[in-house]
Structure 1
Amino acid sequence: MKEQPNVEEAGVKTASFEGRLQLQDFMHCPAVASPSPSPGPSTSLSPIHRSPRLIRASSSQAYQSYPIPSSSSGPSPLQRKPSSSSTSTPLAASASPSTSSKKRKRNTSGYAPPSTYAHLPGLTDSLGPNLLILFVGLNPGIRTAQTGHAYAHPSNLFWKLLHSSRITDRLVPASLDSTLPVRYSLGLTNIVARPTRNGGELRPAELDAGFAALEDKVRRCRPEVVCLVGKSIWESVVRVRRGRALGKGAFSYGWQDEAENIGAPIPDEGAGGDGGGGWSGARVFVSSSTSGLAATLSPAEKEKIWRELGDWCVKRRAERAERAAEAGPESSLGIERVEPE
C-alpha cells in the first residue's frame, strides 16, 4: 500500500478520493452477462453516505444510458397513448334516448257528442211480462251497436257471469239475447240509449235524464228485481232522487233497501189509491260492471256478487214453477222454454 504523505507536516490540505470523484462507483449499471442484478451486497458506498446532488446526477445518467426494451405486445406504459375509448364521449351523452324508457300514456277518452256515433244504430230492448230480473246496462258499446245484440264484445263478461251464477242453465250467446224474456224471464235495457266506445264518453247528466224513461219501462213490465249492471248507474239514481252525489262509504254491491225500489206506481189522486194493485216497485240489486275495461274488482269478487243474485234467482224460479204447477197449464207464471235455434 502506498504511503500517504503527512498532511499536517506538509502544511497543506489535500483533496479526498485521491483528488477526484469516482463516479463509476455511484452509478447503477447492471452486468451485461447477468439477466438480473446480483442479489448480493453492493460494493459501492451505502446510499446514506452519498450526497443528494450526486445521487440525482447518477440516477439521471443511469436512466438515460439504460435503453427501454421493446415489446411485441405494444408500447410500454411510458409510451402508451390514451385509447380512443378513454377519450370518447360519455355514454349518457352519446347514446340516443331509448323509446322504451318513455312511459306510454293511456288513451283516456273524454266526452263524445251524439254526432260522433250517429252512424251507429240503436239497440232494441228485450222486454216482456212477468220478468224475474230486468238487467239495466249503462249504454250500448260499439260492437253491440254494430251487431244489434247486447253485450256482444268478446271481452264483456255478462253472458259468462249470467251462466256461472246459475241465472241461466247454459252459456247463452249474445245472438240469442231477444229470447231471454220467454226462455228465462229475464229482460235487457240501458239507462242511456245512444252507443259510445265506453262510459267515459257520456256525461252524468245523460244518465240522470235516462232514469225517468227507465222507471216507465219498469212500471210497464213490473219485474221482481231491477239489476243495475255497474255502480255508476246506481250513482245516477241517487243523484236524481236525493239531489246530491253518493256519499263516501255509503255504497255496497248487492241488495239495496226496499225504500229504493224502482218503478213504484204513481198514486192515483182521484181514487186515493196507489194505482198499482199492491205492487210497490222492483227491488234493486247493484252488480259489478261486466265490461272488459272495468278492472276495479277481481274476477273472484265479481263472481261473488253475481252469485248472490243467482242464488235468489234459482230459489225464486223454483217457487214460480211450483205455483205454476198448482195453478194449471193455463197459468202465465210458468217459464216457457225455447230451445236454441
Structure 2
Amino acid sequence: MSPTRAELLAASDRLLPDVIAPGLDVLFCGINPGLYSAWSGHHFARPGNRFWPALHGSGFTPRLLHPSEQDVLPSLGLGITNVVPRASARADELTAAELTAGGVRLRSLVAEYRPRVLAVLGVTAFRDAFAARDAVVGRQPSSLGATVVWVLPNPSGLNAHYQLPALIQKFAELRASLGANG
C-alpha cells in the first residue's frame, strides 16, 4: 500500500530511529530520511532507492533485504543512521546549520558505538557536515578516532551519476577493505 500525499506530508520532520549497535563493521549514514521512509518507519524505503540492492549486490547481505528487515543488519555487523535525523521531502531542504550539527552528532555516535567504518552516503552531505570541501567518493584520508571514514555515492534513484552497477562497485570496494572479517 502506498501512502497518500497527506500521509507523506504528515511524515515531514518525523524522526527515524537509528539501526545501531556497538562494534559494527560498517555504520552506513544517509543524508536524512525521505518522507516515504519516515512514513514507513524504515530507512531507504522509497521504491527506486538503490541502497538495499547495492548492499546485497556488493556482498554485504546474503540476500536482498526489504527495508522492513532493517533490524537484521546489526547481526550482519551493519547499521544505519543519518547526518540529519529529521525527515524532509528533499535533501536540499536541510540547512547548513543542520548539516554541521549532523557532523557533530555523527562524531558522538562514532565515539559511543565505535564502528570499524563510517560510510557516508553522499559526498556533498559529507563535505558540508565535516567541512571537507575537497572530499571525493572513497576512503577519506582522516578518520574519527579508530573509525575509518568512507564516502559512498548517494543511492537515491535521483542520483543519475551512479547507476546500480557503479553503486555496487563502490560498496564492494568498501567491503573488500574490511578484509576477511567483513
Q: Which TM-score bucket, shorter chain as reference? A: 0.7 to 0.9
Q: For 1:229-282, what per-residue CA distance to the aligned partner results, in whole angstroms no more than 9, with x for missing partners?
A: 11122202442xxxxx61xxx44311111xx212x3xxxxxxxxxxxxxxxx31
Q: Which residue of 2 aligns with 1:3?
A: none
CA contact (8 A) 1:129 1:223 kept: yes
Q: For 1:120-143, what per-residue CA distance to the aligned partner results, in whole angstroms no more than 9, with x for missing partners?
A: 531011111220000111001011
Q: Which residue of 1 aligns with 2:42?
A: 149
- Tell whether 2:81 aligns with 1:185: no
Looking at structure 1, the residues matched to 16 and 167 of structure 2 have their Cα atoms a distance apart, in angstroms, of 26
Q: 1:311 to 1:119 in 2, by over 3 A?
A: closer
CA contact (8 A) 1:167 1:314 kept: no
Q: Which residue of 1 aligns with 2:26?
A: 133
- Tell whether 2:140 aligns with 1:217: no
Note the aligned Cα RMSD (angstroms).
1.8
Q: Which residue of 1 aligns with 2:54?
A: 161
1:105-116 paired onto structure 2 within 5 Å:
none
For structure 2, the 5+ residue unaligned runs are: 1-8
Q: For 1:100-154, what per-residue CA distance to the aligned partner results, in whole angstroms no more than 9, with x for missing partners?
A: xxxxxxxxxxxxxxxx767653101111122000011100101100010000001
1 or 2 for the larger relative contact order (CA 8 Å, sep ≥6)? 2
- Tell whether 2:173 aligns with 1:311: no
How many positions carry a matched residue from both structures?
A: 174
**Normalised TM-score (structure 2):** 0.87
Q: Which residue of 2 aligns with 1:261?
A: 143
CA contact (8 A) 1:128 1:187 kept: yes
Looking at structure 2, the residues matched to 199 and 208 of structure 1 have their Cα atoms a distance apart, in angstroms, of 14
Q: 1:117 to 1:232 in 2, by over 3 A?
A: farther
Letter in 2 for 1:121: R
Looking at structure 1, the residues matched to 181 and 138 of structure 2 have their Cα atoms a distance apart, in angstroms, of 17
Once the two structures are TM-superposed, the CA of residue 189 in structure 1 deviates from its matched residue by: 0.6
Looking at structure 1, the residues matched to 169 and 71 of structure 2 have their Cα atoms a distance apart, in angstroms, of 27
CA contact (8 A) 2:24 2:114 kept: yes
Once the two structures are TM-superposed, the CA of residue 298 in structure 1 deviates from its matched residue by: 3.4
Letter in 1 for 2:139: W
1:236-255 paired onto structure 2 within 5 Å:
236-239=128-131, 246=133, 250-255=134-139
Once the two structures are TM-superposed, the CA of residue 305 in structure 1 deviates from its matched residue by: 1.2
Letter in 2 for 1:310: R
CA contact (8 A) 2:12 2:88 kept: no
For structure 1, the 5+ residue unaligned runs are: 1-115, 240-244, 265-280, 318-341
Looking at structure 2, the residues matched to 119 and 256 of structure 1 have their Cα atoms a distance apart, in angstroms, of 32
CA contact (8 A) 2:59 2:175 kept: yes
Looking at structure 2, the residues matched to 198 and 120 of structure 1 have their Cα atoms a distance apart, in angstroms, of 12
User: What secondary structure sits across from 1:227 in the alignment?
Assistant: strand
Which one of the candidate residues 174, 177, 196 is aligned to 2:67? Answer: 174
Determine which structure has more spread, i.e. the larger CA radius of gyration. 1
Q: 1:119 to 1:289 in 2, by over 3 A?
A: closer
Letter in 2 for 1:224: R
**Normalised TM-score (structure 1):** 0.48
CA contact (8 A) 2:50 2:164 kept: no
Looking at structure 2, the residues matched to 117 and 299 of structure 1 have their Cα atoms a distance apart, in angstroms, of 31
Give the structure with the higher percent strand: 2
| Percent of residue pairs identical | 33
